[in-house]
Copies of this chain bind each other. A is one copy, B any other.
């Protein structure tokens, strides 16, 4: 076995002051990779936090142009090592090199970095607000310390702690990042961090702008998110580990943004099924099995109304699930978690329609699985029947009528998304109006006539939602510039002399950023 990989602390790639090490697995081969990565000790994490806090003051002086230059240079460097990155990520995650990693996720990642650069440079994200009569001005600015970013297992690039959405948002808002690699793709993360650090150096940013560790135990993770000198945390991953970190951060008064779990209910109304049932079944199969179902926005619950159309839909979906190839899962823990969830759903009263057992594909795999339950049964065990099954599985809930479907919706937990398919005319309008006011409160994003898996990087996106989908219903993890606000503090200036104000609040506005002056948004100078 090779020597453990080095960590990046305070501008130096160095041997970890480790508490131990771990060896990731190759999910396609179901075998260890032979690579070894360190588990960082408490003292190493504290060193990183303190280095980030030291870098924060200096980094603010590079805002926004130096930070924007860095994000763009980093995107270029990722593209320069594209083939290598795709190869490593494919090996570590078994996600398809093409079309997924090379054609979709990597361009999305560099696109996010460039959008973040543009937003930082343009400054309008910071919601500058000026009251000329009162002499009071405010704007969002950096938090004054490092942001810890924990990336999930399912997006080795786009949500990576050292390159993904939280990383881009935190840096663009002017904060150093301490990236915690996901243990399922540490090699991908190391290559990304190498390029990030080269770009940091090339752009003259403080060396501790980007740091990298690979894993910690729970106690050290708690130290990281609750240290007096940490500014905030972004976490995407399992609910159980996320809640451990949340408790520690909350206790210390440190903001923590969590994306925890979501079953993304999809309501399919009868008029839509009569009109285009086969097409919707196809949409469903594609969305549910994409990436072997390992999406935060995977459609995990389909809510139907009892009737012929729904029976036909279930039959069509069953056939499509059986015919579709079975993908490889990210690792053994995903496989065992999926099996456990499918078992739990059955114990709670769900019937197996198809699948239900491990195997059927290459490496770690599980049959494409559909379960079904009546609305009545769902209402008798709503908590158990909302068990997230992370992977290529979905639960069909068949309600007796619209009222019962509304009752089911009333029992939904907080979710990232909720979708409603309805007749293109008005056939389903009454049902829509009954169910959607309830569903709307439960989800961050409401969709019409489409599956939830696509998450466009647009300023209007909300990739968030009520707890337990996330830790706060007011923030989004995707969509620049809104996602940057998570990593800003509201800074107010009361009668502060013009030359001492940040550039974004001075009378003159040479860059033409949008500012709210005396209640009107404008790109003009203060008159």
Selected from B134, B447, B462, B520, the residue in CB contact (under 8 A) with A138 is: B462
Select one of B131, B464, B472 contacting A458, CB under 8 A: B131
Within 8 A of B (CB), among A290-348: none
- Residues of chain B within 8 A of A458, CB atoms compared: 131, 134, 136
A448 touches B131 (CB 8 A): no
Smallest Cβ-Cβ distance to A490: which chain B residue: B462
Q: A424-460: which residues lie under 8 A (CB-CB) from chain B?
A: 432, 436-438, 440-441, 444-450, 456, 458-460
Of B140, B246, B432, B468, the contact of A474 (CB 8 Å cutoff): B140
The reply to whether B490 and A476 contact each other, CB–CB distance below 8 Å, is yes
Q: Which residues of B contact A437 (CB under 8 A)?
A: 57, 60
Residues of A347-372 at the interface with B, using a CB-CB cut-off of 8 Å, are none
| Chain B residue with Cβ nearest A132 | B460
User: Complex: how many Å from CA A520 to CA B513?
Assistant: 10
Q: How many copies of this chain?
A: 2
If over half of A's interface residues share one DSSP class (helix, strand or loop), that class is named, otherwise mixed; here it is mixed
Q: How far is the CA of A238 from the CA of B376 in the complex (A)?
A: 47
- Does A459 lie within 8 Å of B131, measured CB to CB? yes
Q: Which of A33-41, A93-101, A250-258, A386-394 contacts B (4 or more CB under 8 A)?
A: A250-258
CB of B472 within 8 A of CB of A144, answer: no
Give chain B nearest CB distance to A407 CB in angstroms. 14
Query: Known: A144-B441, A460-B131, A467-B253. Is A474-B488 also a contact (CB below 8 A)?
Result: yes
Query: Given A250-B250, A446-B491, A450-B495, is A460 in contact with B521 using a C-beta cutoff of 8 Å?
Result: no
Which residues of B lie under 8 Å from residue A486 when comparing CB positions?
Answer: 474
Task: State in angstroms the CA–CA spacing of A4 and B475 once bound together.
Answer: 43
A414: chain B residues at CB < 8 Å are 253
| A521 vs B516: C-alpha distance when bound (angstroms) | 9
Please measure, in the bound complex, the distance between the C-alpha atom of A516 and the C-alpha atom of B521, giving whole angstroms: 9
State which residues 460-496 of A face B: CB under 8 Å.
Answer: 460-462, 464, 466-468, 471-476, 482, 485-486, 488-496
- Which of B445, B460, B490 makes the CB contact (< 8 A) with A464? B490
A157 CB–B CB distance under 8 Å: no
CB pair B255–A246 under 8 Å, yes or no, is: no
Q: Which residue of B lies closest to A468 (CB)?
A: B253
Residues in B with CB closer than 8 Å to A60 are 437
Question: Does A3 sit at the interface, judged by CB under 8 A?
Answer: no
User: Is A8 on the interface with B (CB-CB < 8 A)?
Assistant: no
Interface: A123 (CB within 8 A): no
Chain A residues 111-166 with CB under 8 Å of chain B are 124, 129-131, 134, 136-138, 140-141, 143-144
Q: Considering the complex, which residues of chain A in the window 248-282 have a beta carbon less than 8 Å from any beta carbon of chain B?
A: 250-255
Task: Return chain B residues, CB-CB under 8 Å to A489.
Answer: 441, 444, 466, 473-474
Q: A247-B250, A500-B436, A520-B514 are in contact. Are A492 and B136 (CB under 8 A)?
A: no
Nearest Cβ on chain B to A134's Cβ, whole angstroms: 5
Q: Which of A52-99 contact B (CB under 8 A)?
A: 57, 60
Contact B495 A449 (CB under 8 A): yes
Q: A335 vs B151: C-alpha distance in the bound complex, in angstroms?
A: 50
**Would A138 and B461 count as touching, CB distance under 8 A?**
yes
In chain A, positions 205-262 with a C-beta closer than 8 Å to chain B are 246-247, 250-255
**A383 to nearest B CB, angstroms?**
11
Pairs of residues from A and B, 5 with the lowest C-beta to C-beta distance, nearest first: A253-B467, A521-B521, A462-B492, A144-B441, A473-B489
- Name 7 interchain pairs, CB-CB below 8 A, sorted by A: A136-B461, A253-B414, A444-B492, A445-B494, A450-B494, A459-B516, A514-B516
Please name 11 further chain A to chain B contacts, defined as beta carbons within 8 Å, in addition to the given A247-B251, A255-B473, sorted by A numbering: A57-B438, A131-B459, A131-B461, A136-B458, A136-B460, A254-B467, A432-B500, A436-B500, A446-B491, A448-B500, A462-B491
